[in-house]
Structure 1
Amino acid sequence: MKKIYTIVLSALLLSACTNPKSMSEKSKTYVPETPQLSSDVMTPEVLWSFGRVGNASLSPDGKTVLFAITYYNIEENKGYRELYTVPVDGGDPVQLTNTASNESNAAWCPDGEKIGYISSASGTPQLWEMNTDGSSAQQISDIEGGITGFCYSPDSKKIAYIKQVKLDDDIHDLFPDLPKANARLESDLMYRHWDQWHDYTYNHIFVAELNGGQIKGGTDLLEGEKFDAPDRPFDGIEQLCWSPDSKTIVYSSKKLRGKAYAESTNTDLYEYDLQTGQTRNLTEAHKGYDKNPVFSPDGKYLAWTSMKRDGYESDQTRLFVLNRETGEEKNYSANWEQNAEHLSWSKDGQAIFFISDIHATDEIYRLSLADGHIQRLTEGVHNYQTVEETATGKLLATKVSMSQPAELYVVDPANGSDQPLTAVNKGLMDQLTMGKVESRWVKTVDNKDMLVWVIYPPHFDPNKKYPAILYCQGGPQGTVSQFWSYRWNFQMMAANDYIIVAPNRRGLPGFGMEWLEQISKDYGGLNIQDYLAAIDDVAQEPYVDENRLGAVGASYGGFSVNYLAGHNESKRFKAFISHCGIFNFEQMYVTTEEMWFENWDIGGPYWDKSNAAAQRSYSFSPHLFVEKWNTPILVITGEKDFRIPFTQGMGAFNAAVLQDIPAQFLCFPEESHWVTTAQNGILWQRVFKNWLDKWLK
């Protein structure tokens, strides 16, 4: 099916809307013309040609949207991000920047007169400002080493910024007479995380005056503290906020180190008083994640998201509000089982808009503070990712689906209808035929109802027989909602002429806490049966060839594939692909970094023989069943994956080869848990397709 947009934009819009005022030097950016495709079926090269829309924010008057678009130059293997604005009421986007510097963290100055952003044009990432039409760009910070995020104070007189501060000794500090030594000397945990070795620095928040000159210093809100604020590696400027009177800053931080940090998710909110220099913990009584603080417009309330249990990273994300005048806090999720994400206050401060997953779609909700009522505003086959109220009471939102990359929309909260505000990828979308996406409810082995997405090939012919692929989700508590991915893209997989089966098996959000939590300490149990129920149900269709079934997945999905490989005696599956999957639970426990995850989901260390739940978990380890492997398997990993170390993939591949099972090992030395660069991403897609075609076609 083709996407039809109600706002018509030229396919060449983005190459023609450059603001002349930002063109004082020769263009160094990459904003391609829409390619003319030779086929209406997706390819990896087309997938990497989409413009990626993100970081949308409303101007202070609520009438203009600032956003970014990133394009990838495949030949250069590089992404280019530029900044744009578009009126909320509709119109052509205006390109504000045109450089090779990849502007990021763009934000409106609270008085609406300037736009700030981070650029590395001077050699390090610094704060720049420009007029709202893109003219008169000027660097206004000169911070040693650069900054990684910033936000203006509401009175426009100060700036808060994030900078890395070196507080630990490295090997050359310890042994200065050995300048060419290259080593690490560690005595505690968390020396590496996700894809980075600890570099002996910590994220700290600084506050400096905005006086028209260059910012060179400021007050360190965590001076001398060996903690990160915001936490690494994924938290950013969204984890701090100014009070409307510009007198305090609230930020999130997990003020723990080493082993204690590795075993805990106890992140708290801290309030720093700029006048007294005092810091107080606002959420000391809370034991799980406390994050994403947002002040109400009048400063009377502070909203944030909170998890109840320490060590459980997939606990319910609850919506809390603190009355700053009385000190009373309220859990508005007390009688509500869904998650609350991406909080945004209404202009009048009487309501909070947010995003929540419900039955495998992400919808917009509204909380009324007066009566605590939570109202669902939207419904459809899509995922909303962000929400913010405009000057007219409508909502600015970013929306994606399995059949469309992100675009900006304006949503009417009265009836849930939306209208596209951008059509960045219209030129490509008009040339592509997407496969049909449908949901079906499948009975599980214990007679529960499970929602399963089925994605059909473009030009699907019900009179043909197609091979089918079971998609195994990661997380394990990740959602199989209407997401658009640039690797695990369901339309890309279906375009290879496969039917894709994507079950919302046990352990996924959006179906109640009992369904979500069942998976912990039961990795080889009911959720595996859910996978089989889903593929067996779809395989009964006359257009599915039950003799040409495969299974693919990443992370926990990669574990699922490795486990299924050892339980495939009937040869239900004829091919497997495992990306960054767990292979040996015991080795995983002592080589990963986030011990809170292992302790909660597995149950504890393998050496605790008195822990029955943990011992049961370790009995599910795929390496215990390799003697039963009988099916070709492709194993993919990244050497910078510290979450599931790449040796797990090596173990799976080596075990297959040693048993003369057809196997391939695709290893990316510079990638981590994900594949993020253009040419590696295209290579991934080609190898993925070739492997499945070889064994299923």
Structure 2
Amino acid sequence: MRKFYVLLVAATLIGACTKQTTMTDEKKTYVPGTPTLSSDVMTPEVLWSFGRVGNTTLSPDGTMVLFAVTYYNKDENKGYRELYTVPVSGGDVSRITNTATNESEARWRPDGKKIGYLSSESGSVQLWEMNPDGTEAVQVTEIEGGISGFNYSPDLSKIFYIKAVKLDENVQDLFPDLPKANARLESDLMYRHWDSWHDYTYNHIFFAEYGNGKITSGKDILEGEKYDSPDKPFDGSEQVAWSPDSKSIVYSCKKLLGKAYAFSTNTDLYQYDLETGETRNLTEVHKGYDKNPVFSPDGNLLAWTSMERDGYESDQTRLFVMDMTTEKQVNYSAGWEQNAGHLSWGRNGNSIFFISDIHATEEIYRLDLADGKITRLTDGVHDYHSVVETADGKLLAEKVSMSQPAELYLVDPATGTDVPLTAINKGLMDQLTLGKVEKRWVKTVDDKDMLVWVIFPPHFDPSQKYPAILYCQGGPQGTVSQFWSYRWNFQQMAANGYIVVAPNRRGLPGFGMEWLEQISKDYGGLNIQDYLSAIDNVAKEPYVDENRLGAVGASYGGFSVNYLAGHHEGRFKAFISHCGIFNFEQQYVTTEEMWFEDWDIGGPYWDKTNQAAQRSYSFSPHLFVEKWDTPILVIHGEKDFRIPYTQGMGAFNAAVMRDIPAQFLFFPEENHWVVQPQNGILWQRVFKNWLDKWLK
């Protein structure tokens, strides 16, 4: 593995076409200068050197962009996030923070005169404000225990903030004479979620008067309710919306407990009236997810995303709009088979911009409310992750691809063309040679067309023969679009000297609902055949060595690898399974979000009368271990509660007991993902070493 050297230049922004300005000459944070690489081929160390752009917001007048960049310090094993601004018209990028703490939830105050953000500078996470140039930072809240989100009311008279409220009793509450007892006493489900045990608290929304000094308390609009809003573990302030008249708050919440919560996705939108204290359910007729409320500029309309079916978290994400006066709701996705996400209103209130997946890319669309017409605005080999209209009618969007990390762009809605607004990683990108990304259509066993991405090594020579790896996607209904990942990075895999085959097999969005939904209750069926069709197609190429093929994947992709291990008929010489399901029966009763397994598998294993479910359980990889004959690397995190780490242990132990070469890479502090810098680099090194050992 080639080495590279990093020159730490505190006052230099990565990006040759931008200028760096700072709050102070004193270095408090970690903003590295552009690394000088000794090779033009990607390495894990280079991958973890990219600045990660996010948290993008547009100023109220539509002329200035606020965004964050996170850099990771490998030696300290931590990340540093700082805030930046850039004019929509283009020009210098300015860094406006320089702290040892990580600013988050940064947003413009409605009058544009201040920027609010969360910081732990005072010891707990509180709301702070500063001028748009980063000067005169002042703490605004002093809420006991800290807060996790906030937003200003449009008239600047109030704020809402999000705070954890303890409502359940722990062992010490029940048995106060045993203060050192370390135990839990459970009587219902959802006692742990994603990577955390329930801590007896619930996310609640508070509102408080703003502008009269430091805020120390507020009114809990869910007082006494044992529900989370925003929902855990991933929802945030985007699930809470002020009405433009500042008289009400709309929030998403799943008002269910325990077992009922664990088997349902029925999240509704509720409107709380600040004056009367009354709450009403706006989406009671919908039984799936209702989330992401966004008011029109005049407050007459409310847009949100909605799923139809309870318990099906990969149902079509539809775009709904409600007239707040008549309460009439319109499904603008009716007759349209794509998903809608990242909603934002046009500045005139007559249109809604959003992101949707189509043929393995994420594109920008516009809904015109006058006629209900949905228009695709962009078309390319990329993924857009956000969109908002600027003052001059252009669209501010975050864009990535398999060949580029996130940067900000301005998109012309008339032509669909874009121009870069930031170039945070240009200094690194200019030194790298990336592999070609090719789109091909492959026939499936039932004569359908499947889109497959093929990523070639840098400096690809068609006269040589290369080993190839089949990438198995997770989800199972997660897209294989033009994403840029810091773990499953296709350019990093290709840079290791492999041709990467990434099929959009059955069960992925962007190809219609029939293609998406076929995978449910058919885990070992057509989608597995799709994998084999993809690798068989590419393996026929003269530049691929069909005797040096591997298969890799995580989550559902990890299950796919475990299943292929017993069904690949000698195609593969190496496997890597990360957080993969090994035993379906154990997975059904030990995961936390029970609705997912119940929907996709079809029901519990003890229901012998349920033929669809019994067929699903017949696909469990542990039933085919006697057919395993190929070296396998198993990776798992101890804090993975979605697919408990014992699934990985089972796969590894079974391989060893069968005398199959195997390794187990175990991360005690990681969850379903790998997020710490040194663990991430270790993951990449072990990943490469394992494939090199068996395929080179």
The answer to whether TM tops 0.5 is yes
The corresponding residue for 2:544 is 544
Question: Deviation at 1:13?
Answer: 6.1
Cα deviations by residue, 1:487-526 (Å, 9 ceiling, x for unpaired): 0000000000000000000000000000000000000000
| Superposition map of 1:270-349 within 5 A | 270-349=270-349
The corresponding residue for 2:531 is 531
The corresponding residue for 1:4 is none
The corresponding residue for 1:76 is 76
How far apart, in 1, do the equivalents of 2:618 and 2:17 lie?
Answer: 55
CA contact (8 A) 1:15 1:33 kept: no
Question: Deviation at 1:212?
Answer: 3.8
CA contact (8 A) 1:264 1:310 kept: yes
How far apart, in 1, do the equivalents of 2:16 and 2:635 lie?
Answer: 38
How far apart, in 2, do the equivalents of 1:349 and 1:518 lie?
Answer: 38
| Superposition map of 1:132-211 within 5 A | 132-211=132-211
| Amino acid across the alignment from 2:593 | E
The corresponding residue for 1:628 is 627
Q: Kindly report the root-mean-square deviation, in angstroms, between the aligned alpha carbons of the 2 structures.
A: 1.0
| Amino acid across the alignment from 1:571 | G
How far apart, in 2, do the equivalents of 1:70 and 1:581 lie?
Answer: 29
The corresponding residue for 2:7 is none
Question: Deviation at 1:96?
Answer: 0.7
How far apart, in 1, do the equivalents of 2:15 and 2:246 lie?
Answer: 43
Question: Deviation at 1:15?
Answer: 10
How far apart, in 2, do the equivalents of 1:251 and 1:126 lie?
Answer: 21
| Superposition map of 1:25-424 within 5 A | 26-424=26-424
Question: Deviation at 1:18?
Answer: 3.2
The corresponding residue for 1:579 is 578
The corresponding residue for 2:613 is 614
CA contact (8 A) 2:297 2:347 kept: yes
TM-score by length of 2: 0.98
Question: Deviation at 1:11?
Answer: 4.8
Question: Deviation at 1:631?
Answer: 0.1
Q: Give 5+ residue unaligned stretches, structure 2.
A: 1-11
Cα deviations by residue, 1:256-295 (Å, 9 ceiling, x for unpaired): 0100000000000000001101000000010000000000
Instruction: Identify which range, 208-217 or 245-254, moves more after superposition.
Output: 208-217
Question: Deviation at 1:23?
Answer: 2.1
* Pair 1:501 & 2:501 matched: yes
Question: Deviation at 1:27?
Answer: 2.1
CA contact (8 A) 1:338 1:358 kept: yes
How far apart, in 1, do the equivalents of 2:371 and 2:379 lie?
Answer: 23
SS at match of 1:577: strand
How far apart, in 2, do the equivalents of 1:402 and 1:443 lie?
Answer: 24
The corresponding residue for 1:678 is 677
The corresponding residue for 1:6 is none
| Amino acid across the alignment from 1:300 | N
SS at match of 1:656: helix
SS at match of 2:277: coil
How far apart, in 2, do the equivalents of 1:142 and 1:57 lie?
Answer: 25
How far apart, in 2, do the equivalents of 1:632 and 1:472 lie?
Answer: 17
TM-score by length of 1: 0.97
| Superposition map of 1:637-652 within 5 A | 637-652=636-651
| Amino acid across the alignment from 2:310 | D
- CA 1:15–1:174 in structure 2 vs 1: closer, same or farther (change >3 Å)? farther
CA contact (8 A) 1:68 1:84 kept: yes
The corresponding residue for 1:654 is 653
Question: Deviation at 1:180?
Answer: 0.7
Cα deviations by residue, 1:379-425 (Å, 9 ceiling, x for unpaired): 00000000000000000000000000000000000000000000000
Question: Deviation at 1:637?
Answer: 0.1
Question: Deviation at 1:327?
Answer: 1.1
How far apart, in 1, do the equivalents of 2:623 and 2:105 lie?
Answer: 47
The corresponding residue for 1:600 is 599
How far apart, in 2, do the equivalents of 1:104 and 1:591 lie?
Answer: 33
Question: Percent same amino acid at aligned positions?
Answer: 79
CA contact (8 A) 2:19 2:93 kept: no
Question: Deviation at 1:218?
Answer: 0.5
How far apart, in 2, do the equivalents of 1:441 and 1:12 lie?
Answer: 36
CA contact (8 A) 1:15 1:31 kept: no
How far apart, in 2, do the equivalents of 1:14 and 1:437 lie?
Answer: 26
The corresponding residue for 1:688 is 687
How far apart, in 2, do the equivalents of 1:561 and 1:273 lie?
Answer: 51
* Pair 1:17 & 2:16 matched: no
CA contact (8 A) 2:162 2:205 kept: yes
* Pair 1:553 & 2:572 matched: no
SS at match of 1:546: strand
CA contact (8 A) 2:28 2:99 kept: yes
The corresponding residue for 2:5 is none
Question: Deviation at 1:35?
Answer: 0.7
The corresponding residue for 2:428 is 428
Q: Give 5+ residue unaligned stretches, structure 1.
A: 1-8
How far apart, in 2, do the equivalents of 1:523 and 1:657 lie?
Answer: 25
How far apart, in 2, do the equivalents of 1:12 and 1:421 lie?
Answer: 11
SS at match of 2:685: helix
| Amino acid across the alignment from 2:113 | E
SS at match of 1:303: strand
How far apart, in 2, do the equivalents of 1:460 and 1:156 lie?
Answer: 58
Question: Deviation at 1:187?
Answer: 0.2
CA contact (8 A) 1:365 1:378 kept: yes
Cα deviations by residue, 1:626-685 (Å, 9 ceiling, x for unpaired): 000000000000000000000000000000000100000000000000000000000000
| Superposition map of 1:512-523 within 5 A | 512-523=512-523
SS at match of 1:493: helix
Question: Deviation at 1:16?
Answer: 6.5
| Amino acid across the alignment from 1:647 | T
The corresponding residue for 2:489 is 489
How far apart, in 1, do the equivalents of 2:306 and 2:609 lie?
Answer: 33
CA contact (8 A) 1:471 1:552 kept: yes
SS at match of 2:29: coil
CA contact (8 A) 2:15 2:423 kept: no
Question: Deviation at 1:328?
Answer: 0.6
The corresponding residue for 2:9 is none
| Amino acid across the alignment from 2:492 | M
| Amino acid across the alignment from 2:193 | H
- CA 1:304–1:11 in structure 2 vs 1: closer, same or farther (change >3 Å)? closer
How far apart, in 2, do the equivalents of 1:591 and 1:15 lie?
Answer: 50
How far apart, in 1, do the equivalents of 2:15 and 2:623 lie?
Answer: 56
Cα deviations by residue, 1:76-119 (Å, 9 ceiling, x for unpaired): 00100000100001011111100011000001000010000000
The corresponding residue for 2:667 is 668
The corresponding residue for 1:445 is 445
How far apart, in 2, do the equivalents of 1:689 and 1:381 lie?
Answer: 27
Question: Deviation at 1:12?
Answer: 6.1
| Amino acid across the alignment from 2:313 | E
How far apart, in 2, do the equivalents of 1:412 and 1:644 lie?
Answer: 43
How far apart, in 1, do the equivalents of 2:119 and 2:18 lie?
Answer: 22
SS at match of 1:566: coil
The corresponding residue for 1:3 is none
How far apart, in 1, do the equivalents of 2:605 and 2:481 lie?
Answer: 34
Cα deviations by residue, 1:8-52 (Å, 9 ceiling, x for unpaired): x97566996233xx328x321000010100000000000000000
SS at match of 2:178: coil
The corresponding residue for 2:8 is none
| Amino acid across the alignment from 1:452 | V
SS at match of 2:387: strand
Aligned residue pair count: 685
CA contact (8 A) 1:15 1:32 kept: no
CA contact (8 A) 1:12 1:33 kept: no
